[in-house]
Amino acid sequence: MFVVTLLTKPNSDRLEQDLVESLRQKWDGTDFMWLAPKEVAEFSLSDMPLDREVVWTELQAKGIDLLIQFASRRRKAILLADMDSTIIRQECINELAIEMGIGPQVQEITARAMNGELNFEESLISRVRFLEGQSEKVIDTVWNNRIDFALGAQTLLQTLRAFGVYTVLVSGGFSAFTSLVAKKLGFDEHHANQLLIKDGKLLGKVARPILGRSSKVKILEEVTQRLGFSKKDVISVGDGANDLDMLRASGTGIALHAKPALAAKCDMRVNFGDLTSLLYLQGYSRDLFVKT
């Protein structure tokens, strides 16, 4: 069996009952149910629709996401989440560079790396070089003034933790920020790259080995083995090309507002919903959400 989930931008009321019912009949699905009225609906199917990509394209033009997954084992035991442009709205290295007055140089490299046009590890090394000599206080300045959480982040973390889900923040960014995000939102653990600092100054270097694309999969494997679960028990979310292997290795991998290079290679794509989409996709209705 498969589950079809239709969702749209929160509080937009774009998802009409007639549209959901029409698609359910077209695909011979079971009766649909609202997980959030006029925002999220789901129904079950016995077979994967052959025209799903065509329908997906039509629905995207209406501001609606369509996701189809196996019905079994929908609810996961572990969350693995990217940080930059996923759990938070910003790319931390870009914000550091902007604070230093060198934003454009670094932003261009970041954009190309996140779209898979550049090797992630090499691009990170080149971007971090721009930070050499800056006071470490710039980290606190950026955190306090330039970083905010993505929509739905707090609800996602608090709800999953209330249901006993183990949560892991895994980032190709910097531990100086993942530590703060993890503490604020309540992640059980966090992993990222370490900016090297000496005498209160950034050295323009990161500690080795660099946490990149393959490292995220290794962390997934280590966490599941340590906790006694399988990869099928993991839901993961990310937005950049360096998240692809992690998403593919997970039981459910969600490309959230993803860069084109990642979106083109993922079936589970959320372009209009926010981070609470990860709850709906696991069958949580809005009345089960922990209020923030």
229-251 confidence digits (pLDDT tens): 999 999 999 999 999 999 999 99
For the chain, the DSSP string reads: -EEEEEEESTT-----HHHHHHHHHHTTPPPPEEEETTTEEEEEESS--TTHHHHHHHHHTTTEEEEEEESTT-S-SEEEE-IIIIIBSS-HHHHHHHHHT-HHHHHHHHHHHHTTSS-HHHHHHHHHHTTTT-BTHHHHHHHHHH--BPTTHHHHHHHHHHTT-EEEEEEEEEHHHHHHHHHHHT-SEEEEE-EEEETTEEEEEEPSSP--HHHHHHHHHHHHHHHT--GGGEEEEE-SGGGHHHHHHSSEEEEES--HHHHTT-SSEESSS-TTHHHHTTT--GGGSPP-
pLDDT class of 268 with cuts at 50, 70, 90: very high
CA angle 245, 284, 27 (to 5 degrees): 80
Q: Is 19 exposed, middle or buried (0-12, 13-18, 19+ CB in 10 A)?
A: middle
User: Is 90 exceeded by the pLDDT of residue 292?
Assistant: no
User: Is 90 exceeded by the pLDDT of residue 64?
Assistant: yes
User: Is 90 exceeded by the pLDDT of residue 213?
Assistant: no
Please give the C-alpha separations between residue 254 and each of 30, 185, 250, in angstroms, as whole numbers. 24, 20, 9
What pLDDT is recorded for position 40?
98
What pLDDT is recorded for position 274?
98
Of the ranges 54-58, 105-109, 150-154, which one carries the lowest mean pLDDT score?
105-109
Backbone angles phi, psi at 279, to 5 degrees: -75, -50
Retrieve residue 292's tokens. Answer: 């923030």
Q: What percent of the chain has pLDDT over 70?
A: 100
Cα gap 271→8, rounded to integer Å? 9
Residue range 68-83: mean pLDDT, rounded: 96
pLDDT class of 211 with cuts at 50, 70, 90: very high
Per residue in 2-61, pLDDT (tens digit) is: 999 999 999 898 999 999 999 999 999 999 999 999 999 999 999 999 999 999 999 999
What pLDDT is recorded for position 26?
97
The reply to whether omega before 49 is within 30° of 0 (cis) is no
18 tagged catalytic: no
User: Is 90 exceeded by the pLDDT of residue 291?
Assistant: no
Cβ–Cβ contacts within 10 Å for residue 105, how many?
Answer: 11
What pLDDT is recorded for position 184?
97
pLDDT class of 97 with cuts at 50, 70, 90: very high
* Encoded amino acid at 156, one letter: L
Catalytic, out of 65, 82, 239, 243: 82
Torsion of CA 121, 235, 72, 264, to 10 degrees: -50
Cα gap 214→120, rounded to integer Å? 10
pLDDT class of 116 with cuts at 50, 70, 90: confident
Each as own residue / partner, the long-range contacts of residues 107-113 (CB below 8 Å, 24 or more positions apart, any chain) are 113/240, 113/241, 113/242
User: Is 90 exceeded by the pLDDT of residue 113?
Assistant: no
Residue range 91-95: mean pLDDT, rounded: 95
pTM: 0.95
Please give the C-alpha separations between residue 137 and each of 7, 94, 190, 201, 241, in angstroms, as whole numbers. 41, 16, 22, 9, 30
What pLDDT is recorded for position 241?
92
pLDDT class of 128 with cuts at 50, 70, 90: very high
82 tagged catalytic: yes
Catalytic, out of 31, 47, 65, 84: 84
